[in-house]
């Protein structure tokens, strides 16, 4: 006697019935890059099909997001002005703050999440305050909290700190609560690795570090137990959602996180993961639809409740038959 596994694979109807993981556009969060200036919608060379938008053109991408059936966006600002302390990141008229107000006035129901970090806004390109050539953790917390509060004040639903300083979730939660933003959630980039797969993003956001690397704050790709310690700390500090980033090389981390914690788990399908497929498709090596669906399904199967992906609009449109 042997099992007839193929019985449940013999027709697409049966395969549909027994499928364990089903993707929907509701799983996706779409990253949006906002630049200063007017009337700009310019394709990002390292992220084909994704654009830099000026604030006045944001309604177009919001329409696209709705059309794709996606409910949330993650905003990234590309400012004109950088300095040592990232002042343009907590300026009331900073690029992200303006973008939040524009999107919310146009589409109040869209979930607006903001990346809270300093690297695009600092002249040195690091995610914190640099003192004597090192990233000063506790000094950075003051600035990161200010950025988060300024996003909340502009109307963000959720703030997502991606700096990997210790204690940032607690500092942000406290600052938000003190300013009356108890309703604003914190999606923490809890297990964010010092990954080579951020390359295309750093081109898009002009955020590459000007000296050294991010290995003193982002995690070593070799560690998973340490990731659990990071997540545990974020749960205790008051995070509402835990994130694993990148996704593909870290499916085990997503799975462990899902099994250990009861908070929603987000996975960031990062720029390098997207670009790998795009480039292979352009070279005629992969079928894009199949490859993208397989990648995203594997992330959900590993345990992610939501996936931040540059494919959100394209895949959402495929799913809606548009």
Cα torsion 229, 235, 238, 239: sign: positive
The Cα 286–Cα 271 span in angstroms is 18
Are 322 and 67 in contact by the 8 Å Cβ rule? The answer is yes
DSSP letter for each residue of 158-214? EEEE-S--TTHHHHHHHHHHHTT-TT-EEEEEEEEB--GGGHHHHHHHT---SSS-S
Q: Residue 278 catalytic?
A: no
CB of 240 to ligand PBG, least distance (A): 18
Q: Residue 192 catalytic?
A: yes
Pick the binder of ligand PBG from 28, 32, 72, 115 (CB under 6 A).
Answer: 115
Q: Is 303 helix (H, G, I), strand (E, B) or coil?
A: coil
Q: Is 117 an interacting residue with respect to ligand PBG (CB under 6 A)? A: yes
Of 82, 98, 146, 192, the catalytic one is 192
# of chain residues touching ligand PBG (CB under 6 A): 12
The Cα 169–Cα 138 span in angstroms is 12
Site map for ligand PBG, 186-225, x if CB under 6 A?
Answer: ------------x--xx----x------x-----------
Question: Which residues 146-165 are close enough to bind ligand PBG by CB under 6 A?
Answer: 162
Pick the binder of ligand PBG from 116, 148, 184, 270 (CB under 6 A).
Answer: 270
Q: Read off the tokens for 301.
A: 């199967």
CB of 125 to ligand PBG, least distance (A): 9
The Cα 45–Cα 25 span in angstroms is 25
CB of 269 to ligand PBG, least distance (A): 8
Q: Is 30 an interacting residue with respect to ligand PBG (CB under 6 A)? A: no
Residue among 54 and 120 whose Cβ is closer to ligand PBG: 120
Residue among 170 and 271 whose Cβ is closer to ligand PBG: 271
CB of 231 to ligand PBG, least distance (A): 18
DSSP letter for each residue of 54-116? EGGGHHHHHHHHHHHT--EEEEEEE-S--BTT-GGGS-TTSHHHHHHHHHHHH-TTSEEEEEE
Pick the binder of ligand PBG from 61, 85, 99, 119 (CB under 6 A).
Answer: 119
Pick the binder of ligand PBG from 65, 127, 175, 244 (CB under 6 A).
Answer: 127
Q: Is 61 an interacting residue with respect to ligand PBG (CB under 6 A)? A: no
Residue among 162 and 170 whose Cβ is closer to ligand PBG: 162
Task: Please write down the long-range contacts of 273-279, taking CB distance under 8 Å and 24 or more positions apart.
Answer: 273/197, 273/246, 273/247, 273/248, 274/47, 274/200, 274/309, 274/310, 274/311, 275/46, 275/47, 275/199, 275/200, 278/48, 278/49
Q: CA geometry: angle at 102 spanning 99 and 105, to 5°?
A: 145
Residue among 168 and 173 whose Cβ is closer to ligand PBG: 168
Of 98, 245, 278, 300, the catalytic one is 245
Q: Is 271 an interacting residue with respect to ligand PBG (CB under 6 A)? A: yes
Beta bridge partners, 300, equal none
Q: Is 230 an interacting residue with respect to ligand PBG (CB under 6 A)? A: no
Beta bridge partners, 245, equal 192
Where on the chain is the footprint of ligand PBG (CB under 6 A)?
A: 115, 117, 119, 127, 162, 198, 201-202, 207, 214, 270-271
Q: Provide the annotated active-site residues.
A: 192, 245
């Amino acid at each position: 006697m042997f099992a007839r596994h193929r019985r449940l694979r013999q027709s697409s109807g049966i395969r549909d019935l027994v499928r364990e993981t089903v993707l929907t556009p509701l799983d996706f969060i779409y990253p949006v890059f906002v630049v200063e200036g007017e009337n700009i919608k310019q394709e990002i060379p390292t992220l084909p099909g994704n654009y830099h938008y000026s604030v006045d053109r944001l309604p177009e991408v919001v329409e696209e997001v709705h059309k794709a059936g996606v409910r949330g966006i993650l905003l990234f600002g590309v400012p004109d002005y950088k300095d040592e302390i990232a002042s343009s990141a907590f300026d009331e008229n900073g690029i992200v703050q303006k973008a939040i107000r524009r999107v919310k006035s146009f589409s109040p129901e869209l979930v607006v999440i903001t990346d809270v970090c300093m690297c695009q806004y600092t002249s040195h390109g690091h995610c914190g305050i640099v003192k004597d050539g090192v990233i000063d953790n506790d000094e950075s917390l003051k600035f990161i909290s200010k950025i988060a509060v300024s996003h909340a004040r502009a109307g963000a639903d959720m703030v997502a700190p991606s700096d990997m300083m210790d204690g940032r979730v607690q500092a942000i939660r406290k600052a938000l609560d003190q300013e009356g933003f108890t309703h604003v959630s914190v999606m923490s980039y809890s297990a964010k690795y010092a990954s080579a797969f951020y390359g295309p993003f750093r081109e898009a956001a002009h955020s590459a570090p000007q000296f050294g690397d991010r290995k003193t704050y982002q995690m070593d790709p070799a560690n998973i137990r340490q990731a659990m310690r990071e997540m545990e700390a974020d749960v205790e500090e008051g995070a509402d959602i835990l994130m694993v980033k990148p996704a593909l090389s870290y499916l085990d981390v997503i799975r462990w996180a899902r099994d250990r914690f009861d908070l929603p788990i987000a996975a960031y399908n990062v720029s390098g993961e997207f670009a790998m497929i795009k480039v292979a498709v352009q070279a005629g090596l992969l079928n894009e639809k199949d490859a993208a669906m397989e990648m995203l399904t594997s992330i959900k199967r590993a345990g992610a409740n939501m996936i931040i992906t540059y494919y959100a609009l394209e895949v959402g449109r495929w799913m809606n038959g548009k």
